[in-house]
Structure 1
Amino acid sequence: MSASCVVHAATLRGVQAVSVEVEVCVSNGMPGFSVVGMADASVQESRERVRAALRSCGFSMPSSKVVVNLAPSALRKTGSGFDLPIAVGLLCATGQVNPAVLDGVLFAGELSLEGAVRPIAGLLAYALCAQRQDLALVSAAEDGAGRIEGIRRRVIESLGQLRRGEFAELGGALAPEKPQELDFRDIAGHDMAKRAFQIAAAGGHGLLMMGPPGSGKTMLASRLPSILAPLSRSEALEAAVIHSVAGRDAAPLLAGIRPFHAPHHCATLAGLVGGGSPPRPGAISLAHNGVLFLDELPEFAPSVLQGIRQPMEAGEVVVTRADGSVRFPARFMLVAAANPCPCGFFGDSERTCTCSQRQVHQYQGRVGGPLMDRIDVHIDVARIPPGQVLSTGHGTSSAKLREGVLAAREYASWRRNTTGFDERARQAEVLVESCAMSEADRDFLEQLAASGSMSGRAIMRTLALARTIADMEQVPKVGRDHLCEAVGFRLREGGA
């Protein structure tokens, strides 16, 4: 005599939840409880949690043979989210709970030894997986995932609720409260740096600040999200899923605020680009559709910095393991800050640098030319006079800077639709056509590129920067002034 049932569940694969069927079979034979189907250690441990949770809630554990199969068997299953579906499957197979509770739902949750259901990382990904199958997600309450339009969620607090067979709906669509943002108004002076940030925000260009300690580099970078365009619904959902999988709060993203992620310079390659077992998103994916800020850039290991070069171009990172490859989205705006030398005061007008010329070159060379070549805007940030520091709160506001950013983006969108040239495709021919330069200005750019020893990539990125500057002035053609300003941002000390 045997009894069986099938429960809808899921497992995380990268930043997506993949559908899994939990097949539970209770039959005559030698007593035992086995879980098969490529289950890792955390899933195998669920057997002990399920046993204790069932007894704590007044249910009985069958004394016969229990086999749990996680299908498809070729897919590796990870995480403690299988506790709840395995327990529900056992209760339905043994007749302790009405099987009707399985209709139209997907279960995900970890069990405590007392039978309470705990939330797990990635519930938003699980909810989207359930939505794709026209199911409702049944899990512990968690803010964020249940407050998105179109996603059905039901709440279970304890296994004891299964006796009633009813689960409360978790709210409806609700716009998260938008947290207060930092404002550029707090920074006095630095008008040139603010202009550079406005241009970078308008075109999504990477930016590098170099200057002595205390010059305000970190303050400037931390306020960049306040002038960026709000996240669209699709962008917010993409970023929120990544943060949910990483166990981070996704509420600010769902409110439209772009992510700002600033890893410490001791971060490993796996911590920056993603990895681990199972693979989890890294810092560049947590900054997806937002800003990645690398403070003290030369202090990062050179091999770690070189690891972000390819994702900067592709907009994603592919982590390959023995059981397959996982793709993590990674479209981010890179902002970096660096001291000019180990002591930090090379070129400072007030304090004398104690480093040798060799030390300065070695320190700045730690970043590497290929990565520097991919950063469009290079600026020097000097310390401002004490009088301006005391005038904080009277600088150019984020609201004013954002107006220019949004106007430039709106004009660029109109220009692309009118001309048919979309330079965002990163095709050199399309970019050149979108700039509509005169022959004289083309010759001028060639001369500047030759004198500055600019690479082919640097030339095209300079042209893209000039196109953004022209969009800020809402003019269709890139002129001499736009090229000069763009080259001024690209070239430092005569190099590209």
Structure 2
Amino acid sequence: MLRKVFGSAVFGIEATIITVEVNIDKGIGYHLVGLPDNAIKESNYRIAAALQHNGYKIPGKKITINMAPADMRKEGSAYDLTLAMGILAASEQIKADNLADYLIMGELSLDGTLQPIKGALPIAIKAKEAGFKGFILPAENAKEAAIVSGLEVYSVTDIKEVIAYFNENTPLQPTVVNIADEFAKALEFPEFDFADVKGQESIKRSMEIAAAGGHNIILIGPPGSGKTMLAKRLPSILPPMTLDEALETTKIHSVTGRTINSGIMNARPFRSPHHTISDVALVGGGAYPQPGEISMAHNGVLFLDELPEFKRSVLEVMRQPLEDREVTISRAKFTVTYPSSFMLVASMNPSPGGYFNDPDAPVATSPAEMQRYLSKISGPLLDRIDIHIEVTPVPFEKLSEERKGERSTIIRERVNKARRIQTNRFEKLPNIHYNAQMNTKQIRMYCQLDEASLQLLKSAMERLNLSARAYDRILKVARTIADLEEAEQINGTHISEAIQYRSLDREGWLS
């Protein structure tokens, strides 16, 4: 007898419906076709043990299973429950009148209990689009899948519950998630708060500007000056995610299995990969494509600590995603695209020893060593970083103060106001939401200067020997500073402050 049951494959961050056709006929054998990987080929052992422990069996006949579309590679153990239900239905051990109304996924343990799967959210979205009545999956994934409205999501802990649902009409209660409540659980009092930072007022100001305009930022300072501590607090002042942003971010984390036992992601991600990371781990890919760190940081922050310690090849592959805000992985047999719209926060020592131009430095650095160290950061990568800020150690008097600094929630209110101004400004422009995304044409349109401001910028570029790449960056940052002050026009004060945030363009840093 031939029966059909439905599962799903995730490719990139999008799901595809997989039709599992099970045919049982006279003869002996077990044939699984349709480009399954080794985990799926081994499923018959898990299925046999699980059915035996629950009073059922794989029939001793010729079983042919086709996973369609047959030219798409399928991977993972999440098809165990799909295959098992197809075998039971085709061998008439259970009723299967409405089996085709449901999408069924889950990994089987040998005793029949279910293990969680990856990609529950994109699969649920696809199930709704395909018109399925419901989605049956392991309990650990139910909260995530139930985010999708208009689809009944049934959580089960073992195969007995699924069999009882179809065979005996034993009811399953659909999982219900209040998206508004889940989304409202964003941290009002974040774990890392700027109130805990002593001193560093100018650095906090620069990070507020970076957050307000979505600007990439690099912190340059000696060891122990607080670069990492400051970077960890940046997400606490970023605007809360919109529902669309939260869903897209959750989809990316879902396909890597990081959303098990959790619902929608309501906090912006903060990713901090080690400097030994490989190209593939950073941008994504592999034999079975997975999103990399830059996609895991989508709608959040990617922090690269000690930037010159990263391999140059790793930094170079990041250039295009920084510009396009997505990364496309192309191989001979597949092409996938992952979103990667993130804020880059980098940190570095000013020299190999960490104490450039410090008369009390324990280790002196020669000009040749300085040049080798700084040349690890290419000009094109530096081009994509709007704000360069020097971080100096906090003096003892500041460290010993008991007075708390300004809370992140207060800073975030100012950031939100500036972002709303930018949203209104760019509402008619596609794919532009904040100042950092402006191209040259839009900079000329929205960053016009009066004669005095223009002369100030010209004088500064000549006297400080600023490079040509600094010009547009200064205008973008000045536009954000003006937005924070709710000023329509950029004036000399905004330009003066923006010029301070181009340390690495000055003579003596990078040639």
User: TM-score scaled to structure 1, two decimals?
Assistant: 0.93
Contact 2:325–2:339 (CA under 8 A) maintained in structure 1: yes
Partner amino acid, structure 2, of 1:436: Q
> Could you say if the C-alpha distance between residues 418 and 73 of structure 1 is closer, same or farther in structure 2, counting changes exceeding 3 Å?
closer
Number of matched residues?
493
What's the CA shift string for 1:362-407, capped at 9, x where partnerless? 1122122211111000001011112212226612221221121111
Matched residues in 2 for 1:464 and 1:436: separation? 11
Contact 2:215–2:387 (CA under 8 A) maintained in structure 1: yes
Partner amino acid, structure 1, of 2:152: R
1:130 paired with 2:127, answer: yes
Given candidates 98, 108, 115, the residue that maps to 1:111 is 108
Tell me how far 1:104 sits from its aligned partner.
Answer: 2.4
Tell me how far 1:447 sits from its aligned partner.
Answer: 5.3
Partner SS, residue 277 of structure 1: coil
> Could you say if the C-alpha distance between residues 370 and 452 of structure 1 is closer, same or farther in structure 2, counting changes exceeding 3 Å?
farther
Given candidates 33, 38, 57, the residue that maps to 1:36 is 33
Q: Bigger shift: 266-275 or 33-42?
A: 33-42
Partner SS, residue 384 of structure 1: coil
1:167 paired with 2:172, answer: yes
- 5 Å matches for 1:323-334? 323-334=333-344
- Structure 2 partner of 1:181: 191
Q: Bigger shift: 160-169 or 122-131?
A: 160-169
- 5 Å matches for 1:79-478? 79-135=76-132, 136-142=134-140, 144-148=143-147, 150=149, 151-165=151-165, 166-173=171-178, 175-176=181-182, 177-179=185-187, 180-249=190-259, 254=264, 256-348=266-358, 350-391=360-401, 394-416=404-426, 426-442=438-454, 444-446=456-458, 448-449=460-461, 457-478=469-490
Q: State the superposition RMSD in angstroms.
A: 2.4
Partner SS, residue 110 of structure 2: coil
> Could you say if the C-alpha distance between residues 455 and 4 of structure 1 is closer, same or farther in structure 2, counting changes exceeding 3 Å?
farther
1:75 paired with 2:72, answer: yes
Matched residues in 1 for 2:80 and 2:463: separation? 65
Tell me how far 1:124 sits from its aligned partner.
Answer: 1.7
Matched residues in 2 for 1:427 and 1:114: separation? 59
Could you tell me the percent identity over the aligned residues? Answer: 38
Matched residues in 1 for 2:193 and 2:402: separation? 11
Partner amino acid, structure 2, of 1:96: Q
Contact 1:12–1:78 (CA under 8 A) maintained in structure 2: no
Matched residues in 2 for 1:282 and 1:370: separation? 21
Q: Bigger shift: 98-107 or 424-433?
A: 424-433
Contact 1:243–1:250 (CA under 8 A) maintained in structure 2: no
Partner SS, residue 134 of structure 1: coil
**Which stretches in structure 2 are left out of the alignment for 5+ residues?**
166-170
Tell me how far 1:454 sits from its aligned partner.
Answer: 5.7
> Could you say if the C-alpha distance between residues 242 and 362 of structure 1 is closer, same or farther in structure 2, counting changes exceeding 3 Å?
same
> Could you say if the C-alpha distance between residues 349 and 381 of structure 1 is closer, same or farther in structure 2, counting changes exceeding 3 Å?
farther
Partner amino acid, structure 2, of 1:141: A
Partner amino acid, structure 2, of 1:359: E
Partner amino acid, structure 2, of 1:168: Q
Tell me how far 1:437 sits from its aligned partner.
Answer: 2.1
Contact 1:346–1:353 (CA under 8 A) maintained in structure 2: no
Partner amino acid, structure 2, of 1:373: D
What's the CA shift string for 1:346-375, capped at 9, x where partnerless? 234653433322212211221222111110
What's the CA shift string for 1:50-99, capped at 9, x where partnerless? 12212121112111111111111121111111111111111111111111
Q: Bigger shift: 261-270 or 381-390?
A: 381-390
Matched residues in 1 for 2:5 and 2:358: separation? 67
What's the CA shift string for 1:396-436, capped at 9, x where partnerless? 22122112111111222334459999766633222211123
> Could you say if the C-alpha distance between residues 200 and 253 of structure 1 is closer, same or farther in structure 2, counting changes exceeding 3 Å?
farther
- Structure 1 partner of 2:50: 53
Partner SS, residue 205 of structure 1: coil
Tell me how far 1:276 sits from its aligned partner.
Answer: 1.4
Partner SS, residue 258 of structure 1: coil
Q: Bigger shift: 140-149 or 368-377?
A: 140-149
**Which stretches in structure 1 are left out of the alignment for 5+ residues?**
none
Matched residues in 1 for 2:162 and 2:384: separation? 56
Matched residues in 1 for 2:217 and 2:262: separation? 24
- Structure 1 partner of 2:8: 10
Contact 1:37–1:69 (CA under 8 A) maintained in structure 2: yes
> Could you say if the C-alpha distance between residues 315 and 253 of structure 1 is closer, same or farther in structure 2, counting changes exceeding 3 Å?
farther
- Structure 1 partner of 2:168: none
- 5 Å matches for 1:471-486? 471-486=483-498
User: TM-score scaled to structure 2, two decimals?
Assistant: 0.90
